[in-house]
Structure formats: C-alpha cells, structure tokens
Structure 1
Amino acid sequence: MNVAFETPLKEIAGLNWELVRLLEQELHIATVEEALLYLPFRYVDRRFFVPVDDVRGPDGMVQVVGVVSQMEIVGQGRKQRLVAKLQGSRRSIDVVWFRGVRFHYRRIRIGSRYVAFGKMDRFGSTLTMTHPEFDLYTEEMQKTARIEGVYSSTAKINRLPQAQRAIADLIRSVANVVLMGVEDPLDERFYVRCGLIPLRRALWDVHFPKEFAEVERALKRLKFDEAFFVQLRLQQFRVRNHTLNIGIEFSRVGNRFNKLYKEELPFDLTRAQKRVLHEMHDDMRSGRQMNRLLQGDVGSGKTLVALFSMLLAVDNGYQSCLMAPTEILAQQHYSTIKRFTANIGVTVALLTGSIKRGEREQLRAELQAGKIDILIGTHALIEDDISFNNLGIVVVDEQHRFGVDQRATLWAKGTNRLPHILVMTATPIPRTLSMTLYGDLDVSVIDELPPGRKPIKTVHVYEEQRAQVYEGVLRELAKGRQAYVVYPLIEENEKMDFASLEEGFVSLKQFFEPRGYLLAMLHGRMSPDEKNYAMRAFSANRVQVLVSTTVVEVGVDVPNATVMLIESAQRFGLSQMHQLRGRVGRGGEESYCLLMTPYNLSPNTRARIETMVRTNDGFEIAEADLRLRGPGDIDGTKQSGVATQFKLIDVKQDCKLIEKANAEAKMLIQEDPLLAKPENAKIKSELARRALGSRYSKIG
C-alpha cells in the first residue's frame, strides 16, 4: 500500500482501532500527518528506576520498583477500586485503579516484581499512585529504558487501558510504516546553513528521543519548516506584487492634493509624514501595484497621510475607499476627511451595515457612476453588491488584521489594473509578528509625533484611592476639559471580580452630576444611532464624562479630553491600554492616564502596569506586550490566522528561528523567484501542498 501523510489512520492495518476512532472523534486526529504532528506536550525520563524504599514522597512523576505483597478489590459499584501494595524491604506504597479493576486484578501476580510509573501522591500517611503504567519487571527494562513523551488527551481516551502507552505505540507503528519513504523538501544546503537535521529523523526523535537534546533538535527542524514555508509564501506574494501585479500609474500631483497641502492644512506635516508620502508616491507612480503597511504610534497622523494618498487617486481620475473595523471608527474617519476636504471639491460618502436600504441603493448607483470620489465604510465595502466605477486605491484600517485573502477581495473591486493597497495599523507591531502578519507588504513607519504634543502622564492608582482620583478628574473638568472612564465589560460577571459598566455609570453620575457635569454611556450593545448620539454629545462638550467600554479604543478623536481613567486596568493588555491612552493628549494640553487596579497584582500584571507608567513609546509597548502575553492575546492577531498558520511556533519564544526562516525564504526567492530550478522542485511541491492544507509530501 502506498502511504501518504494525508492517508487516513483507519486505512492502516494493525493499529488500535478504538484509539484511532477516539483520536478522530475527540482530537480531530485522523491522518498520518496529524498523528505524527500530535507532539508530546512534555517528556518524562524513564531511564531511572527507584526502589520503593527510596521514594521520598509526592514529587511529580516517578518510576518505582517493588514486589506486589497483597491485592484486594474494595468498595461496590462506582466506588469499586483495586488496591495493590508495592512492597520494599522497609516500606510500601498503595497502587490504585478505579477503572479496569477486573482487568488488572487478573493480570497482576502477588509475589512478583513490578514497575509502576505515575504521579506519586499522599493520602493521609500513605503514599499512593493512581492509574500508573504497571508492568512486570525484567532485567531487559534497564537496557531499553528511555525518555517518553506525554500527550494531551481527553477523558474518553484516558479510559483506555494505559492510554499514554497506547498513544505512543500507535505513533510508533505509524512512523515505522511511513518514515522510511519520507522525501525531505529541504536538502543539505539548509542542513548546513541552518543547523537542521533531516525531516525523517526529526519526526522520529520528537516522539522517541534517546536524549533531551534530540527533542530540541527535532523541534527546531519542525518549527523551522513551519516558519519557512509561511515566509516563503509571503515572499512569493511580494515578488508577484513587485513584478507581476500591474498597478495604476498616478503620474500627476493635482489641484486637490496641492490645495489641501499648501492652503487648507492648518499645520505642517512632520518629517516622518513627508517621508512616508514620498515612499507611497514612488510606489503609485511606478506602474506597479503598491502594497504597503503604514505603521505609526497613536496620534502620529496616519489618517492624514492616507487621505493624501487618496487625493492622488482622485487627481488622477480614480476613486478611493477606506475600510474601518467598526462603525464608530468609520464615522470618525468620515467626519475627519469631510472636514479636511470641505473646500477642495471632493465628494466623500459613508457606507456601513446600518445604512437604510434606500440610501444604500442611491449610494451604490452614485458609486458605480463615478460620482463618489472617496468611500469610507466598514466590512460592508467587501459585500458583493458594492462595485466601483474606477477604484484606484484601497486603504484598510487594520485594527482587525485583515489577511492576504481578505485584502484580495478588495483588490477585485478594481477594473483592469489592480488598485493600490495601503494597510494602516493603529497598534505598532513587534518586528517578528510583523513578518508573520504582513510579510507580503512593504513597510512605512511614522516614527514622529506632531510638534506640540505633550507626553501623557500615566499614573498607577489603587481602588482605595478612588476619592482622590475623582477629585483629580474634577479639577480637569473645572478647566473646561473632558474625561473618559473605561470599563472592561458591559455586564457584571460573578466569575470575574471587575467593575460593571452599568454600576460604575450610576456611581459616577451620583458623584459628578450634582457638581454640574453631565455623563453619557457608550458600549457595543447600543444601536449605531445611540452610539453616534453619545459620541456627538461628547465631541460637542454637551457631555463632559464619557463612560465606556473599549469601543473608544480607536477612532474617537476629541482634542478637549485630557483624562483617561481605566477601571480594572489589570484586565487589559498593554497594547490595548496604550490605545486607550491615545484617546487623550490630542489637543496640546497636559493630559493624564490613570490606571486603577486592586492592590494585589500578579508579577506579570504589575510588569504590564509598570511598562505603561514608564513609557509612551508604542513600539516599546508592543514588544513588551508580545513578551508578556504572546501573539494570541495581542489585539486582533487571533483573527489574522497567526493562531492557525503556526501550530508549533511560539512567536515570542522563537523570534530568532522566524528571522532565520525569513532570511532563508528571501534569499531563495531572490535566487529563484518561481522556484523553477531542479534543486528547488521539492520545495515548490511542498509549498503548493501546504497551500492546499497538507504539510508534507507523499511518501512511498
């Protein structure tokens, strides 16, 4: 039988069929590939045997040797259990089974020497081991003893006799069938340059190592493959973008661009904004499609740079669109861009999911007729019924991290030539994570804030200081300023001991309204009209305190707001707190961010709070957030596919490996962009198979 990595386990003869069934049912492990990549989550050293007399007490996993001196079945029904005494010369331990009682009772012989492997516990004064692996001791065991993997499991799988051994035996059987025929997609070039072992050896050693060093080498190879083929795909996208994707040539800088730049703009662009505009203009007049990531800290002026790129399109006879992750942010972008373009002859429209049907139909017609120059909206922009007359540039506010495929959906809204793509990110992205999320894009960074911006003072305060905090907020309100108070949840959750928005709102009203200040509430369950009403009231200073959940994290721009009070700050990640902090300090006045927490904090949480107090640098904060929380917790990266494209890689632990894989992928694509050389045929085949969802090539 020819066996491939995608061959179902149930087609391989001689396996434990009940385990095969449960692996598919419980853990979705159904193929040879999935079984071989079902890696141990830890390893135990079974090379050493401890006599019963030398057991010191509860101390994790241990392998004990002794003689079974007595054995009895105790209890009735569900409480029935088998207790065997494993005896040394001076002491004994109790070995207990609640499952398979009759099976073990029949196979164990009193007076024989056994090896028990499991977790040692203490019940009263008695040392016990429950459901251990339990085998007749032989001298041969000393010669074959090894390091063994421990596999994650489920309750149903654990009910199988000696479940861990059954899993290891199944994987060994599968490996023996397929590994001799494995074709390694990588060759000696990579073994030497990257310090890698062959794939066949890695897949064996990761399950059945003789030394712990073999586990490290095996994991390095498997992780390298994972990172390398992700980076290789992204590098191919880059090559396609730079060579094959014919873009629209924006050859002229026209009246609208120049009028805003020279006459309407009430301030000068920063050097960083000008540099990024030059980078973008070089792309857009080159005749190839621009695919660029625009990174910048909170308040650095990304939206204005994006507007200028859209005006280049308008001046060259093309339409533009800007897609935002939320209606609030789309509305904010719409208001900002309308304000900047009021006197330069540009038609700007807003499309969100809540727009009425009649308005939507009229907007669609105007868009198709080319009467709308700039369309701003939410995910509604990528719905099938939305089409442009001549789309020239797509700007995506990437707070929700659209991936390659979603960006391609927007490309398709263009005509014969591909529209330019500008992806903005409000949260600075750590370098390693940027490779993973946006390796197919060129990167521009606005690393300078507009002049006159004062650093926001961040203070850590405790809940016991609430009265003093409120008095401090009052002092700012008395100057005519405004404040945000942000809570992590909408409803009280008994399992989580943080403040509820509704309760907090009532408490804050009781404090501030008798003193002459009005409050509004904002959260995700409100209708779009209710949200917009609350935001307009706050923007117009009809409301002085906005009590909100994290829907204000992005897009809310009220220069008069100078205080951000974050309740239960221990519940927020660093990048999220930094985004919230960025809602204040936008008007040139001294501004404050107050992080309120209980006194007792974990070391990790205290480190997050201290980082916020220490720095306003978004890039430093992003790196710290990656260290402290990991990529799966950084805002939006779960939706991006990081969690699914990396099964083995830990982005924060494996930075150097990702960088090495990225360098190798770049070098390979520079030498052979289409992977057409004979020596790269296996790599090309493997890349294609992974794109279809299978990781390794056929065998045998």
Structure 2
Amino acid sequence: MTASTQVQEKLSRLGIDTELDLILHLPIRYEDETHLFPIADAPPGQTVQVEGIIIHNEVVFRPRRQLVCQVEDNSGVLVMRFLNFYGSQIKTYAVGKRVRLLGEIRSGFFGAEMVHPKCRIVRDGESLADTMTPIYPTTAGLTQKILAKLIAQALQNGQHMLTETVPDRIIGKYRLADFRESVMCLHNPPPEVSIEALQTRTHPAWRRIKFDELLAQQLSMRLHYRQRRSHSAPALAQKDNLKQQFLAQLNFALTTAQIRVSAEISRDLASAYPMQRLLQGDVGSGKTIVAALAALQAIENGYQAAIMAPTEILAEQHFQKLTSWFEPLGIKVAWLSSSQKKKEKQAVLDDIASGAAQLAAGTHALFQDQVIFHRLGLAIIDEQHRFGVHQRLALRMKGAQSDQVPHQLMMSATPIPRTLSMSYFADLDVSVIDELPPGRSPVVTKLIADNRRDEVIARIQHACEQGKQVYWVCPLIEESEVLQLQTALETCESLNQVFPHLRIGLVHGRLPAQEKAAMMAAFKQGEIQLLVATTVIEVGVDVPNASLMVIENAERMGLSQLHQLRGRVGRGSEASICILLFQQPLSEIARKRLKIIFEHTDGFEIARQDLNLRGPGEFLGARQSGVPMLRFANLEQDVELLTAAQAAAEEMLNCHPDLAQRHIERWLGDKTEYLRV
C-alpha cells in the first residue's frame, strides 16, 4: 500500500493497514452520477443530478449571509444556495460557467432550489460517470477522492487476493454470488444496478459479503470452541449424595427449566474437557440454585468451586445464601472482598489455599495474585458481561494445574437475544432458564412525569401502612460517584421530612461493606420500611415483602438496568408496582426506551428491542474487548444468512480446514485473540 505516513495514520484509524483492508473497505452509500435530469423534470425530495449554465451570482445578506446562484438549462431554472462558502467560490461559480449539481431539489424562498449541492465545473458535452459513485466511511482529513484512488489501486494490484475461499458446494447450496464479482460490483456498480438494492444492502453482491463476514465469525468461534475442548479439565462425576441432601432442605421444588439446565451443566462437568457454558435466565428465574448444584458436583468430587460477582452487595448475597444452604451439609464457604481487614483476609486466603474452604465467594478480589486455590474445579462468574475478558481468564487460570484448567460457568440475568447468542456467543454452550418459579406476581409498570410526585408519595404512604416495603432508586449519574452519593443523601433527607414516621434506610456504593450488609439485612427483616438506594441494588437483592419501587430519572437509564431494577420487586406473592419517574422533555431514544420497558416484562423481548436500539457493540459490554464487530451484516435482518453461515462453518471445518483458515485470515486477520477466553 503506497501512501504517505500521514495518510497511513488516517487509514489506520479506519482499521486499514493492508491492501486487502482497502479492498474490503466497502461503501456506506452511493451517489448516482450516471444520469442527468432536465431541471423541470427532476423529481423533488430525492438525490438527482442536473446540469446548466450559471446566469446569476450574488451574495445576499437576508435572512443571513449566503451565496445564491441561478442555474439554467433548456427546461428551466434552479437556484443553488450556499450558507457557508469561501470567497474563492464566488469567483469559481461566475456567470457563464457550466456546472453539474448533485443534490435534492426542494421548494424554497427563491423557488426550486438545491442547498449545498455537490457542484463541479464541467465542459459542454462532458461524458457522465459510467458507474455509480461510491461514498466510503472516512475520517477527518481523508477525502473521498484520496480514499477512492487508493482503493482503485488496491483493486488493480490485488486481484490475486480475491480468490474463492468458500467451497463450490456451499456456494451452490446457498445460491451465493461470486466473491470477486461481488467486491468489484460494490466498488464500481454499473448504471443498470438498482441503487435501492445497493443502499438497502439487499443486492446479491451485498448478500455474499454479509455471508462471508458471518461465516468468518462462525469459523473463528467454532475453531476456538474446538481448541478449548482439546484441553483437559477434571472429570467431575455425577454423584447425587450432596445434591439430594441439598434439594431435601429446600422448601420448594425446582422448575422444569432448572432441572433441564442443571442436567446440561452436570453432563459437561463430568467430561474431561473444560466446560465453557453461559447460563442465562430472566430476573428471578433461579440461576443461583443451578449454580449451587454445579458447585456441589465439584465439591463432592474433592474439588473447590469459586463464585465471582461484580459488586460487593451481590457477592455478599451469594455468600449468605450459599452459606445458609451449604453449612448444614458440612461445607465451608469463604468470603473474600477487597475491603476486608488484613488479618481477616489472610485467614480466608489460608482456608482457600489449604482446601478447608470448599467454596469461595467474592468480587474481583478472587483473581488477585495472593489468592491460591488448593484444587479449583469450577469457576462461576455471575453477571459475566460486567467483567472484562482478562478478568474472566485470570479466575480460570487460578485453577490451572499442570495441563488441566477448571470448568467455567458464566451467568447472566441480562438475556441475550437469539441472534446475538448465535453470533457473538457461538464459542460457548448456552443454557436458558425460560420459566419463572411459580407464585411470582407480575410487576405492573407505571410511567409518571416528575411533576406528579404527590401521587407517588401517596402510593408509598399507602404501601407502608399496608405493611409493605418500598425501594426508592436514585438516578444514575455516570460522570461522578460523588454526585450520585450526594443525590442519594439529599433524596434520603427530603423523604425523611415527607415521612417522619417511617423507618428509612440508605444504601450506596461508598458505604463500608459491613454497614451495607447490615442495612440490607435490616431491610430484609422488615426493620426498614423505605430503602433509598443507588443502583448498587440492581442485581441479586431478594426481599419478597418489597412490593413497590420508585426509580427516579428513569429516562437516564438503559433498558437492561431498568429491567434488572424492576426485578427487585414482585419476588413474593403480592402484586407489585414499579414506578418510573421521568423528567420532561424526553429525548427520542429515552422515549423509545421507556415505551419498551412499559410494554414488556419478558427480558428476552426487552433485550431484542434493546439490541435494535443500540446495536451489538454497546449491548455486548465488556466482552467487546477485542471483538471483531460485524461491519456489514445486520443480526436482526440477516438471520437467514447467520443460520446458513453456522451450518457452513461446521462443514468447512470438517471437510475444508485449509479453506476455513484462509477465510478467517481474509476477514479477521489478527482480530481473533479475545476468542481464547
């Protein structure tokens, strides 16, 4: 690739480092400069090209300074208007010059006009473009002209890079266009090609590119999945003694879905290669019990299990719940957090290292250097999307002994839409708990504008008089934990004034761990009627008597977070309400989010709509670290291609491994590192 250092730096910003990258840098849209319309016949409201002579040119100052030119052809006159212009343009667009304009014709103050059209001086009879003009994604300081020239050079020099990497059988089966022809067509589409099919990416050339991109993603994911299965892990046999004792002490029966996913996990643990399974289930579906059963299988085989959660509140909830379940079975559970005193922490570290602690619960403190496991057989990671790739890997490597690595179970209460699961999580086995335990009451969601706070106050009063408990969630202030704390303190103070007779508690991220735990325990035991909290209560908090939640400034929060918070109520048999207080005016995206959360209670449907709103990049969170994001395929629109790519990947890995490797290198280059996790 021959380009100056400055240009190369700008290309690198676009992810272009090689000639092949240039060839696969495809247009985002097209301009049709292959046709000329007579001015009088040009359709309004769409991009058209016209040509004429400038018959008038002046700078006007009302309603603001602007350059106005009149352009005439044989059929009529059009006004060309520039609101921002250089002095040199006044001379360039002088009377008598022939110009070719590309833009939208609209009805304006001066009649039919084009505002800021693409404009160039032409000679009489100058030929039209014979292909549509591609417009490429670019960056500051890199013009379309330079980019188009570099891409044209790369296409000329790099024809050998466009050889076929997909077997004929798969091309025939899925009726795919030729790869070389598809690339050439997208860079230089002939005039007869439908511009609509190009713009909407439904043209066969786009279909082929999208298939190839999805295929590369599937191939790399499945390849890493297979590589992982080539490692060995402790084979944890299915022994039922502890499991039966555990189930006997529960005062409820497992749901069908819990039984099914437990069996899937149990089978994986019994095999001699490392399990890498994602357990997903909606808020309150009972993932913790499934995780507990998996931990028991490791413990009964003489191994340790560890459960890691993203927040201290959630980690401590796991610790308390698992202790209450496991201690009667004679199993020691250890608790590790970064806020522990040195002596206390050392005692826990000794128990983990000696194997006296069979289960360790904690935050990211679990994967720090001083933590040494005696014999880790299973690492459980809750709310896995909150942890970065390297953190998850660090916990798993804690248990690596000689050539063995521990099994890994990741849990997520943020349901993952099916298409996302098929693509970005294709390197994992996925289990889904798709039913809620019986006796759960549905939560009614109400949207109330901030100017109707009096109604909300009355509802809180009524709920507490009925012996119920209430959460008041303070707004999320991304930029500052201090500001968020200040808001929580002020809210607590004002609610104390409104409800002097109520017992009100406060919990936030800056509260020392012991105070936080004591406050949550007091709320759970009913000693506190109204709990003011920041979003630290988003996951894992389980108080069946809390039947009303107020979320302030709900318009600032994401869908997944609103759904998680709402899941803190409705955990008992009482009908529950979640009030979303919002400030007006609402932005368009906030309006859409609140509409979705108001209309839906199913986490999977909410997640699907969230994916449409935000796109996969934002939705994936920490997993995105190094993820090759899809540039051309759209998971919502291209499900049929994704399904085809999934089947084709298996066939290629089994029957054409060399082509599979070449295909991955073409599309992903060195962007597959993260997949090892």
TM-score for the superposition, normalised by structure 1: 0.83
State the 1:66 CA deviation.
0.7
1:693 aligns with 2:677: no
Deviation track 1:620-679 (CA, whole Å, cap 9, x = no partner) reads: 333333344433443x5364359743233333333332222122223434xx1xxxx5x4
Matching residue's letter, 1:435:
M
Query: Aligned pair in 2 of structure 1 residues 369, 198: CA closer, same or farther (>3 Å)?
Result: same
1:653 aligns with 2:653: no
> Helix, strand or coil: the match of 2:96?
coil
Alignment partner, residue 649 of structure 2: 665
Deviation track 1:10-68 (CA, whole Å, cap 9, x = no partner) reads: 2xxxxxx59835733764644324433433332222233234455687x4644221113
Structure 1 window deviating more from structure 2 (35-44 vs 387-396): it is: 35-44
Find 2:338's aligned residue among 340, 344, 353: 353
State the 1:442 CA deviation.
2.3
1:299 aligns with 2:284: yes
Alignment partner, residue 3 of structure 1: none
Find 1:43's aligned residue among 10, 30, 39: 30
Matches within 5 A, 1:100-249: 102=88, 105=91, 111-118=96-103, 124-125=109-110, 127=113, 129-130=115-116, 132-139=118-125, 141-142=127-128, 144-154=129-139, 156-157=141-142, 163-210=143-190, 211=193, 212=195, 213=197, 216-242=203-229, 244-249=230-235
Alignment partner, residue 595 of structure 1: 580
Alignment partner, residue 611 of structure 2: 626
Kindly indicate whether the alpha-carbon contact (under 8 Å) linking 2:628 and 2:668 is maintained by their aligned counterparts in 1. no
Alignment partner, residue 363 of structure 1: 348
Deviation track 1:498-557 (CA, whole Å, cap 9, x = no partner) reads: x96555444433322x2x113333344555456445434433434322223322211212
Q: Take 1:21 and 1:74, find their aligned partners in 2: how far apart are those partners?
A: 42
Query: Aligned pair in 2 of structure 1 residues 387, 691: CA closer, same or farther (>3 Å)?
Result: farther
Matching residue's letter, 1:387:
I
Deviation track 1:408-441 (CA, whole Å, cap 9, x = no partner) reads: 4433222243322211111222111112332222
Q: Take 1:533 and 1:337, find their aligned partners in 2: how far apart are those partners?
A: 18
Q: Take 2:450 and 2:495, find their aligned partners in 1: how far apart are those partners?
A: 14
Kindly indicate whether the alpha-carbon contact (under 8 Å) linking 2:97 and 2:121 is maintained by their aligned counterparts in 1. no
Q: Take 2:286 and 2:39, find their aligned partners in 1: how far apart are those partners?
A: 70
Kindly indicate whether the alpha-carbon contact (under 8 Å) linking 2:389 and 2:623 is maintained by their aligned counterparts in 1. no
Alignment partner, residue 508 of structure 1: 495
Kindly indicate whether the alpha-carbon contact (under 8 Å) linking 1:437 and 1:642 is maintained by their aligned counterparts in 2. no
Q: Take 1:349 and 1:364, find their aligned partners in 2: how far apart are those partners?
A: 9
1:334 aligns with 2:314: no
Kindly indicate whether the alpha-carbon contact (under 8 Å) linking 1:364 and 1:386 is maintained by their aligned counterparts in 2. yes
> Helix, strand or coil: the match of 1:693?
coil
Structure 1 window deviating more from structure 2 (168-177 vs 567-576): it is: 567-576
Deviation track 1:455-508 (CA, whole Å, cap 9, x = no partner) reads: 223333343443222212222212222111223324899xxxxx9655544443
Matching residue's letter, 1:389:
H
Query: Aligned pair in 2 of structure 1 residues 337, 166: CA closer, same or farther (>3 Å)?
Result: same
Matches within 5 A, 1:418-437: 418-437=405-424
TM-score for the superposition, normalised by structure 2: 0.85
Q: Take 1:638 and 1:318, find their aligned partners in 2: how far apart are those partners?
A: 29
State the 1:356 CA deviation.
3.6
Q: Take 2:528 and 2:386, find their aligned partners in 1: how far apart are those partners?
A: 33
Structure 1 window deviating more from structure 2 (578-587 vs 407-416): it is: 407-416
State the 1:319 CA deviation.
0.6
Alignment partner, residue 5 of structure 1: none
- Structure 2: gaps spanning 5 or more residues: 481-485, 673-677
Kindly indicate whether the alpha-carbon contact (under 8 Å) linking 1:232 and 1:665 is maintained by their aligned counterparts in 2. yes
Q: Take 1:173 and 1:691, find their aligned partners in 2: how far apart are those partners?
A: 22
Matches within 5 A, 1:344-423: 344-400=329-385, 407-414=392-399, 415-416=401-402, 417-423=404-410
Find 2:49's aligned residue among 63, 69, 72: 63
Instruction: Give the alignment's Cα RMSD to 1 decimal.
Output: 3.6
Kindly indicate whether the alpha-carbon contact (under 8 Å) linking 1:324 and 1:378 is maintained by their aligned counterparts in 2. yes
Structure 1 window deviating more from structure 2 (603-612 vs 649-658): it is: 603-612
State the 1:405 CA deviation.
6.3
Q: Take 2:425 and 2:507, find their aligned partners in 1: how far apart are those partners?
A: 33
Matching residue's letter, 2:520:
M
Among all aligned residue pairs of Structure 1 and Structure 2, give the percentage whose two residues are the same amino acid.
Answer: 36
Find 1:93's aligned residue among 68, 73, 79: 79
Kindly indicate whether the alpha-carbon contact (under 8 Å) linking 1:289 and 1:419 is maintained by their aligned counterparts in 2. yes
Query: Aligned pair in 2 of structure 1 residues 385, 220: CA closer, same or farther (>3 Å)?
Result: farther
Q: Take 2:253 and 2:276, find their aligned partners in 1: how far apart are those partners?
A: 26
Q: Take 1:187 and 1:465, find their aligned partners in 2: how far apart are those partners?
A: 64
